[in-house]
Structure 1
């Protein structure tokens, strides 16, 4: 089986050099099927036309959370003035 995978890899690389990306994709999919445990006959006859690769981050932690949308008419509160951050108003006579 390793000879078959090696031959498919060479065929895939030749297809990429020839800019035939569809053939390279078919070779890549057959290699993945063979590595996954399929027989050569199953990998040859498998119909991969309806399958799509998963988008990056679709299964990662925290990457597929839905975005929250604010209710209609909501406006964000004004941002605090950075010049007064952490200061409080004077409370009484100053000590010396």
Structure 2
């Protein structure tokens, strides 16, 4: 099994060096099949044209949540001024007199 994977790795690197990325993709997919438990003969004869890599976020936690969109005309509230944080607008001078 490891000899078949090593041969496919060499074939994949040769394909990358000649910029034949389709052949490199086929080799990569065959390596993944071998690592998944397929026999070398099965991996060689497998039709890999329909196999696509899973996109991030396609499955898993949080994918069924809808995106929140604000209602039309909504504006976010103004951000507080950090220079006035904690100060009273009533006057009164210092605290604790």
* Shorter-normalised TM range: 0.7 to 0.9
SS in 1 for 2:77: coil
Instruction: Give the C-alpha shift of residue 32 in structure 1.
Output: 0.5
Is 1:48 aligned with 2:66?
no
**Stretch moving more, 78-87 or 17-26:** 78-87
Distance, in Å, in 2 between the alignment partners of 1:61 and 1:46 is 31
1:78: which partner in 2?
78
2:13: which partner in 1?
13
Instruction: Give the C-alpha shift of residue 55 in structure 1.
Output: 2.4
Shift in alpha-carbon separation, 1:44–1:90, aligned structure 2, 3 A = same
Task: Write out per-residue CA displacement over residues 20-70 of structure 1, whole angstroms, 9 at most, x where no aligned residue.
Answer: 1110110010011011001122211212212211224556766x4543211
Instruction: Give the C-alpha shift of residue 11 in structure 1.
Output: 0.5
Distance, in Å, in 2 between the alignment partners of 1:9 and 1:83 is 61
Distance, in Å, in 2 between the alignment partners of 1:71 and 1:10 is 56
| Residue ranges of structure 2 left out of the alignment (5+ in a row) | none
Distance, in Å, in 2 between the alignment partners of 1:90 and 1:71 is 36
Q: TM-score, normalised by structure 1?
A: 0.78
